[in-house]
Structure 1
Amino acid sequence: MARPAGDLVRPGAADLLKLLAPFPGRAAITFRVALICALTVFVTSAYGTMEAAISAYVVFFLTLPDRVLSVVQSVAMLVLVTTFIGIILVVSMFALNDPVWRVACIAGLSFGLLFVTSASKLRPVGAILAMIVGFLLDELGSVPFGEVATRALLYAWLMVAIPFGISVCVNMLLAPSPRRLAGQELAKRLRLAARSLAEPEATRDALTACLREGDAKIGTWLKLSVLEGSTARADAAALKQAVSSTLAILVAADLAVRELSSRLPAPFAGPIMATLENMARMLEAGGYPVDIELNLPDATGLSPLARIVAGDLQRAITRFTVIEEVEEVQESKAAVEAATPPAAEKAGGFFLPDAFTNPDHVRYALKTTAAAMFCYLLYTQINWPGIHTCFITVYMVSLGTTAETVEKMTLRITGCLIGAVLGTAAIVFVMPVTTSVTGLMAIVFLGTWLAAWIAFGSPRIAYAGFQIALVFFMCVIQGAAPAFDLTIARDRTIGILIGNVVVYLVFTRVWPVSVAARVDEGIAALQRQWAQIARLAQTGTLRAQAASAMAQRGALEQDLALMHYEPSWVRPDSQWIAQRRSALARLGALEGPMFLLAERLAERLAERQPDDTAIDEWIRRLDPGAPGGTAAAVTQPPLPEASNNEAHAALLNLGNARLIQLEHAAPDDAAKGITIHAPA
């Protein structure tokens, strides 16, 4: 499914053009999706399969940036769908001729699949499987006898197998390898760091967004590239070190951007920028730099913070792919595990750790099933099958929390209206002069291009793109040949709107789930994680955990931003939100100093003094409910005996100064934020 949206503010007209602006890879994946959808229309027309619009829409869930995951996901989905169609075949033997049993089977299978969706790694596709099962059982109820039902199931399998097969073929031929994507992403980050030295103000937001992304995506691509064979196993360790070094380069560049006293003069910035550009070109070409030389002038005349930036950049660049020797200091297993965030625990299991203890999983399955069955009974009892899309929509828009569901619904209603306008315009002005499947393919290609450009762009508007595609396909793909029945387009659009309204009413009134609990758990986990990061001695492990922590903080900020979608009876009070927003702001200000300080503590781990507790004191002040939430109540942490180290002292002073500044400004800024983002 589409990625969950959410940023600090709802996108408005001023920044909509920025959200639609091109970025590397966006046009390529948009073209692939449009091509696969057009080819799917051609093949479904040749076979005359039912619900060709659903076949085209499924493509949006199969296509990923790299070819390995795209192919694996397509094959895995085909296996799952084949398995579930087999289950439907068995169930239909008992429920085909009995409406009561058929409704009971739809509800029972829906509840079971949705529970597994919420409580396991099936989450991205589980709701789609539940929708397919329910929809097929409903369709089978209208067939006259068993042989036709069997053939209908075979055609249903074709309905999903066709886009899966075409997706595999196209992605194998056109999608980039994970190795190429990893190199491009590293090159992009190096160029951003280089540009930030020359244009600090213009790159500040981009650097922050880059650090929020973390390294998980690049790490996954590198692992896949080894499995695929595009990266030799001998090079994997060096590339992993390149990811680690890139994080250190970004953190140093971020310090230079945020602090005037840490910015480098031209004699320092020039050689660093040129070296980073050369490294980026090597990574884009498919290789990686080794034996890098970077000679900088004497840094005696620089400020302490500027010396930190210059020294860290020089060290990270010259040791960009130098694999760290870990024999001297081995991490204890307990320390590494303690620094791992809860989200990563038990990553190898299929079910989540709280799958059978958290009642929210059962409640989510019950609420979604109840909403879906209401829609099902609605269009069957009033004998209006044209609005059956309300049943499909319920599975598409329901999410675990009220905020996510309402946000998704808002974007989907917007996308629904846009898709309906585009589809209706195509039916009125284009379809009457279209006489072949080739013309229908061209129409689908153009409409898919627009929807995919939105769906695979910014997460803030991605769901709207998915809904544009669904409604557009429902309008223009009415059978095996071009057709222009406006009644079908009208009914399907009405059904989608009904489904959105039903989900909103159910998820805001029945067992509403706020993101508040997730925010509190996340902040507590981040405090523990940073405390353990400060005690790690292996630089590679430290950087990996720090990148994870920065990404986790970005996710928590998005969760807080989602709260303005929650109704007033679900959303926590303004003081609660202000405290959490302040805690995350302080954590964001301290991430750079904590990272740089932790690296220095790791280098001299054997000499660390017992009273070297600056990071621990900072973390205590991050607690939203701690008494140190105002500047008047705080005391600066004592400097350790090693404070004669100028860099160490400079980082401690920087962290303290940032904390005090934010703690002074927190009450007013938080109140303003609540006023803006707290609709009734």
Structure 2
Amino acid sequence: MTYRIPEPAISCYLIIFLMKRDAVMNCLLGIGLIALASLVVLVMIPIINLSIDSAATRLAIMFFTSYVFLFFSSTTPLGEQAAIVGLIVAFIMTLVTDVPIGQIGDQGLLAAWKMACMPMALMILFNLCVGTPSQVLVRNRIVERLRASAEAVERGGESAKLAELLAEGNDESLKQMLLVRFLHLVPRADSLWLNGAVATSYRIALAAQAPGDTILPDRRAMFAAQLRHVADLVSAREVPIFAFPQETEPQTSTPADDALRAALKNLARPDAGASPKPEPVPLLAADAFSAPRHQLYALKTSIAAVVCYLIYTGIDWNGIHTAMITCYVAALGTTGETVRKLTLRIAGCLVGAAMGAAALLFVMPHLTDVGGLMILVFIAVLIAGWVSSGNERISYAGVQIALAFLLTTLNGFGPSFEFSQASDRILGILLGIFVIFVIFTQFWPVSIVNGLRLRLLVSANALVDLTRQAPDARMVDVATSSKILSSLEETSNLLSMAYFEPRRQRASDGQLLQLASIRGELEGLHRHIRSQKQIPEDVTARIDEIRRELEEQFVITLRPALVTR
């Protein structure tokens, strides 16, 4: 507001939308977005000069650039950054009609650049000062795994927390450690140990999840105590040199016993017993041009944005311009994902609007300086942040609460005192939600069921690979187990989204229940296979049966245009 940057609510929203737990990733994300926005603004200068006299040309540019950047958001590691850049371009093109020709460079391009780059610069500064760096998050995750493993060992392998940690896999932590080593954020010895401990702690967690009869009862209390002791050492930033006491090996042992002992001993090594690397991320998805889902996502979202723009400009109601913004932040690949996100967006919008209306009625009349406004915004965003820190099924509602509140209380270059402006912006959000819903459910709808079957088939194939390994190799094969559990967790999320699809597009309840049953069975088979020296023939036969069943269903229902990754 001090520097008269337009759309202060959108600037605040960008921080809330893009901010993650990892300070290092936040800094890199901010730097990347500033670079992209700067490049786009420079490129837009000649484009605006060419299109300044033609509304049709500007509309075509808006659609084309939105399509390109949304396509990149779906097929490249840029992800949300590319979608935000598409939004910036669209915002610039809409300013051309609202800003006097002689001031397009100042009030148009420069204003759009400030709107995107100012919040990113503040996000970088905040994370540099008080953010939580990657190495701390990785260490905390290792400690969480060790303590959850101790709890699971005591409870015969049953621990909801441990199952949640295993479903996360190792890839995120390994990418964080890659950045830590590249940027030299900690001494080389520390980064070497933390990187190895990511894989070793996952191996410990897998062994701790073994069924109750696969760890000797008289050793459970000892393992649990040792795991908690190691967790305390790691939390205190000490390498557990005496991770496991020297003692006589037991006369009898199980694969789970041996895996726990070996993994705990490995934590005392300089590399923590492993040297894993993250899965390489391609610059462009392998199916970027072969799978129509990427093009369909970019096309439908771009159409929705243009439709919203035409609606609010056609009826000369610029107050509902938030409809176009909604299209860029609410659209996802499949119908179920998009409708669920829209549902959360509506709920968050109503809650945020109610909070904003209450602020306009009872708080704004008593504010006398910018400090009071800052406190008001801080409290509201704190509430929204608390909601957004929850699990994936509710977190987006928190982001939307913040946006709706900011749109109702911040307007122009100062606080808002008019209900008409607040209601216009909320109506704009609801209009955008309606347009997105119609386009994503009525035109080229992408069902979620094939994605479900594909992930279950990936898990079943990985289980077959696991059965072919020797018992000792199965217990230490972190990569395959991580792949199985991550795919099963994704399946669980997709199952919850499937019920958001319109009835005529959704798979039958019987089919969804069958897929949920297969998912639970595969999860149980994985635990059983890892902890057994000899795998019964009926187990391998059942896995083969599940594979054939999924392959047949997948071939019968497969429509290439509707496959989701």
- For normalisation by structure 2, the TM-score amounts to 0.89
Matched, 1:445 2:378: yes
Q: 1:628 to 1:319 in 2, by over 3 A?
A: farther
Deviation for aligned residue 1:473? 0.8
CA contact (8 A) 1:97 1:141 kept: no
Q: Which amino acid is the alignment partner of residue 619 of structure 1?
A: I
Q: Judging changes above 3 Å, is the alpha-carbon distance between structure 1 residues 541 and 222 closer, same or farther for their aligned structure 2 residues?
A: farther
**CA deviation after TM superposition for structure 1 residue 531, in Å:** 2.9
C-alpha separation between the residues in 2 aligned to 1:192 and 1:464? 29
321 and 214 in structure 1: CA distance in 2 versus 1, 3 angstrom threshold? farther
Give the corresponding residue for 2:303. 370
Could you tell me which residue of structure 2 aligns to residue 549 of structure 1? 484
1:633 is matched with which residue? none
1:477 corresponding residue in structure 2? 410
Counterpart position of 1:182: 138
- Residue 23 (structure 1) aligns with: none
1:594-605 correspondence runs (5 A): 594-597=529-532
Residue 141 (structure 2) pairs with residue 206 (structure 1)? no
CA drift at 1:212:
1.3
Match for residue 264 of structure 2?
A: 317
Please list the CA deviations of residues 312-362 of structure 1 after superposition, one character each: whole Å capped at 9, or x if unmatched.
322322233445999xxxxxxxxx99xx9xxx6xx4432111111112222
Question: Using the alignment, how far apart are the partners of 1:310 and 1:360 within structure 2?
Answer: 46
| 2-structure distance, mates of 1:325, 1:194 | 20
CA shift, 1:482, in A, is 2.9
**2:448 alignment partner, one of 501, 515, 524:** 515
- Pick one of 399, 412, 437 that aligns with 1:504: 437
Aligned mates of 2:197, 2:67 — CA distance in 1: 46
Q: Is the 8 A contact 1:294 1:314 kept in 2?
A: no
Task: Select which of 404, 420, 426 maps to 2:359.
Answer: 426
AA in 1 matched with 2:443: V
Question: In the alignment, which residue of structure 2 is the partner of 1:459?
Answer: 392
Deviation at 1:200, TM superposition (A): 5.4
Matched-pair contact (CA < 8 Å) for 2:458–2:487? no
Percent identity over the alignment is 29
Q: Does 1:249 align with 2:249?
A: no
Distance in 2, Cα, partners of 1:168 & 1:368? 29
2:9 pairs with 31, 45, 53, which one?
53
Equivalent residue for 1:566? 501
1:404 Cα deviation from its structure 2 partner: 0.3
Letter in 1 for 2:183: E
**Correspondence list, 1:160-559, <5 A:** 160-199=116-155, 204-256=159-211, 259=212, 261-262=213-214, 265=217, 268-294=219-245, 307-322=254-269, 347-535=280-468, 542-559=477-494
The offset of 1:390, in angstroms, is 0.8
State how far apart, in whole Å, the 1-side matches of 2:312 and 2:107 are: 25
1:634-645 equivalences under 5 Å are: none
What code does the residue aligned with 1:319 have? N
Change (3 A) 1:231 1:147: same
Listed one character per residue, the Cα deviations across residues 80-128 of structure 1 (whole Å, up to 9, x for unaligned) are 1111122222221111232222222212222222222223223323222
Q: Which amino acid aligns with 2:373?
A: L
1:287 CA drift (Å): 3.0
Cα distance, 1:627 vs. partner?
A: 12
AA in 2 matched with 1:622: I
Task: Please tell me whether the aligned partners of residues 143 and 231 of structure 2 are also in contact (alpha carbons under 8 angstroms).
Answer: yes
Shift of 1:622: 2.7
1:255 partner SS: coil
Alignment deviations for residues 407-450 of structure 1 (CA, whole Å, 9 cap, x no partner): 00000000000000011111111111112111111111111111
User: Does residue 581 in structure 1 map to residue 528 in structure 2?
Assistant: no
Unaligned runs of 5+ in 2: 554-565
Cα distance, 1:529 vs. partner? Answer: 2.6
Give the structure 1 partner of residue 561 of structure 2. Answer: none
Say which SS state the counterpart of residue 401 (structure 2) adopts. Answer: helix
**Could you tell me which of 34, 38, 46 is aligned with 1:78?**
34
After superposition, what is the alpha-carbon deviation per residue over 1:661-680, rounded to whole angstroms, capped at 9, x for unaligned? xxxxxxxxxxxxxxxxxxxx
Inter-partner Cα distance in structure 1 for 2:371 and 2:53: 40
Larger mean CA deviation between 457-466 and 82-91 belongs to 82-91
Q: CA deviation at 1:501?
A: 1.1
Provide closer, same or farther for how the CA distance between residues 539 and 219 of structure 1 changes in structure 2, counting only shifts above 3 A: farther
Q: 1:318 to 1:72 in 2, by over 3 A?
A: same
1:615 CA displacement: 6.9
Partner of 1:97: 53
Q: SS state of the match for residue 270, structure 1?
A: helix
Residues 617 and 233 (structure 1), Cα distance of their counterparts in 2 relative to 1, 3 Å cut = farther
Conserved in 2, the CA contact under 8 Å of 1:534 and 1:615?
no
> 1:119 maps to what in 2?
75
Is the alpha carbon distance of 1:241 and 1:111 closer, same or farther for their aligned partners in structure 2, counting shifts above 3 Å?
Answer: closer
Rounded Cα–Cα distance in structure 1 between residues aligned with 2:458 and 2:216? 35
CA distance in 1, matches of 2:37, 2:538: 54
8 A Cα contact 2:335 2:447, kept in partner: yes
Correspondence for 1:593 among 525, 528, 547: 528
Distance 1:526 1:262, change over 3 A: closer
The answer to whether 1:133 aligns with 2:57 is: no
Taking the aligned partners of 1:468 and 1:355, their CA distance within structure 2 comes to 34
What's the offset of the Cα at 1:235? Answer: 4.3
Report if the CA contact (8 A) 1:580-1:624 is conserved. Answer: no
Return closer, same or farther for 1:191/1:592 CA change in 2, 3 Å cut-off: same
* Matched-pair contact (CA < 8 Å) for 2:266–2:273: no
- Corresponding position of 2:563: none
| Alpha-carbon offset, residue 481 of structure 1 | 2.8
Instruction: Quote the RMSD (CA, aligned, Å).
Output: 3.0
Taking structure 1 as reference, are residues 627 and 403 closer, same or farther at Cα in structure 2, changes over 3 Å only? closer
Q: Secondary structure at the match of 2:523?
A: helix
